Amino acid sequence: MPTALLIIDIQHALCHGPDAVENSAAVIDRVNQLADQARAAGAPVIFVQHEDEDALQRGSEGWQLMPGLHQQPEDLHLPKRGSDAFHHTELQAMLKMRHISALVICGMQTEYCVESTVRRALALGYPVTLAADAHTTAPNGVLTVAQVIAHHHATLAGLGSYGVRASIRPVADIRF
């Protein structure tokens, strides 16, 4: 099954400052492992970058992908303005043009852009592997980051109404 890797919003503004995500360095290391493996298998690597009028304004320091991410000239880049990477973007067309029928998803932030993109991918018929140890979020004052992640793992793995499912696997168990 042709698979693509979606790397969601690993941007400077989400990794630095008072609202920074937890464990960004460890997540980036695992994302790099996935990207290297995807490229070796000939799978497309797609970097998704959120844009807004504040900290993630296109071209600003906050909008930039984090240094340390392994990027290659053949990688694809996709801007987005909403939480769902499919919403008003060219993602679906990019996937169809490459005959992609499954996705591996990782990135930031678990309960926003990662979760929204996983749900939309499932609704569009793409089986999803969510890299369990390659996504993160920021503390929210209600739940710990670990609780947010655990909740979303349970919820997304439990969705069955789309005909395809999300599997939650650690990076070490993911193959392209």
- Angstrom distance (rounded) from CA 2 to CA 4: 7
Tell me, yes or no, if 113 is annotated catalytic: yes
Give me the catalytic one of 15, 45, 56, 113.
113
Is-contact 107 31, C-beta < 8 A?
A: yes
Angle at alpha carbon of residue 93, lines to 90 and 96, rounded to 5°: 150
Active site residues: 113
